[in-house]
């Protein structure tokens, strides 16, 4: 519990620091745009009906939720986050988008207390974007997946963008080959192992498909570009043009900790 409160404090502080700035949930804003684009593409490909309602678990400051909703006018969105400051920013963003107010709502709530937040509601699709890695333990992560599953309609979908140790290890191995230090897992994150995530999800989902959508982006920015910076004696810059170019690279390899998992809820 103490760790959870420290993590919540961290996100509250980022909300205050990056008020009305898309860097509130990550310093790498181009990665965030890649995540948004990938979520939009995946949602468009799912066989869910118009007027579907989508739960965004850990919606943060609402930036991603609003961006997705703008391109998917036939869907409704319910965003929750346990950071009061993030939700306040999300609602402020929504006030600036009056045409979306009938399709989006933001409220305070924890993934570990979904029953309190969503009550009897069930959703066609649930999304988490780097949310479950902020939980304290594997037990809490497993519980969170079960609670998310309980909020999804039979044959509905869960799109999880979370961090995994396999991609982190591959990226750091590549960095070592070009003389770069490892990038450590940050203090407030607990990355999944692919097998563990699948094990937690298997009781509730039939299809579990991993997609390495950000592998090429990470290889270009965390390996090639970072090595170039070292050669030149420069500090890497998240806004360097290579970041803007790398988001358009095809998906190759498994060099990123950030992966998408697409899961389909069991029908019964």
Query: Given pLDDT bands bounded at 50, 70 and 90, which one contains residue 12?
Result: low
Encoded tokens for 14: 């980022």
Pair 48, 156: CB distance under 8 Å: yes
Question: Each residue of 207-249: pLDDT tens digit?
Answer: 999 999 999 999 999 999 999 999 999 999 999 999 999 999 9
Summarize pLDDT for 65-86 with one digit per residue, the tens: 999 999 999 999 999 999 999 9
H or E stretch covering 115: helix 114-118
* Residue 59 belongs to a domain: yes
CA distance 197 to 227: 32
Q: Read off the pLDDT band of 14 (50, 70, 90).
A: confident
Cβ neighbours of 188 (radius 10 Å): 17
Phi and psi torsions of 22, nearest 5° = -70, -5
Taking the CA of residue 122 as centre, how many other CA atoms within 13 Å lie in the half-sphere pointing to its CB? 10
Domain membership of residue 15 (yes or no) is yes
Length reported for the chain:
268
What CA–CA distances, in Å, run from 171 to 95, 166, 232?
40, 9, 21
Residue span of the structural domain in which 93 resides:
2-165+186-216+256-265
Residue 91 CA to residue 104 CA, distance in Å, equals 9
Sheet holding 53-57, edge to edge: 104-108, 76-81, 53-57, 123-129, 152-163, 258-265, 205-211
Confirm whether 221 is domain-assigned.
no
For residue 51, give the CATH number of its domain: 3.40.50.150
| CB-CB contact of 128 with 103 (8 Å) | no
Q: State residue 2's pLDDT score.
A: 47
Residue 92 has pLDDT above 80, yes or no: yes
* Residue 241: inside a domain: no
**Is residue 251 one of the residues assigned to a domain?**
no
Q: For position 7, what pLDDT does the model report? A: 76
Q: Is residue 27 part of a domain?
A: yes
Q: What is the pTM of this model?
A: 0.93
Q: Are 210 and 259 in contact (CB under 8 A)?
A: yes
79 inside domain:
yes
Residue 261 has pLDDT above 90, yes or no: yes
The count of domains in the chain is: 1
Band of the pLDDT at 134, cuts 50, 70, 90?
Answer: very high
248 part of a folded domain: no
Token representation of residue 201: 């999800």
Q: For residue 130, is it left (φ>0), alpha (ψ between -120 and 50) or beta?
A: left
Spatial contact of 260 and 37, defined as CB atoms under 8 Å apart: no
pLDDT for 24: 62
Mean pLDDT, range 49-64, rounded to an integer: 94
């Amino acid at each position: 519990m103490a760790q959870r409160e420290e993590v919540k404090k961290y996100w509250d502080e980022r909300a205050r620091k990056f008020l009305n700035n898309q860097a509130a949930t990550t310093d790498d804003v181009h990665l965030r745009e890649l995540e948004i684009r990938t979520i939009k593409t995946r949602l468009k490909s799912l066989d869910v009906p118009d007027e579907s309602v989508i739960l965004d678990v850990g919606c943060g400051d609402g930036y991603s939720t609003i961006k997705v909703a703008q391109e998917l006018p036939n869907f409704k969105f319910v965003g929750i986050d346990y950071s009061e400051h993030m939700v306040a920013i999300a609602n402020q963003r929504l006030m600036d988008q009056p045409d979306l107010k009938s399709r989006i709502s933001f409220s305070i709530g924890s993934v570990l207390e979904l029953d309190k937040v969503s009550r009897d509601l069930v959703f066609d699709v649930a999304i988490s974007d780097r949310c479950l890695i902020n939980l304290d333990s594997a037990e809490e992560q497993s519980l969170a997946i079960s609670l998310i599953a309980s909020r999804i309609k039979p044959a509905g979908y869960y799109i999880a963008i979370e961090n995994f140790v396999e991609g982190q290890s591959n990226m750091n191995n590549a960095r070592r080959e070009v003389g770069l230090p490892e990038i450590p897992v940050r203090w407030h994150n607990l990355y999944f192992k692919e097998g563990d995530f699948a094990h937690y999800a298997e009781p509730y989902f039939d299809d579990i498909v991993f997609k390495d959508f950000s592998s090429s982006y990470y290889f270009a920015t965390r390996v090639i570009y970072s090595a170039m910076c070292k050669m030149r004696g420069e500090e890497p810059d998240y806004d360097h043009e290579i970041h803007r170019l790398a988001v358009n690279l095809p998906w190759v390899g498994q060099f990123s900790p950030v992966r998408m998992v697409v899961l389909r809820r069991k029908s019964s």
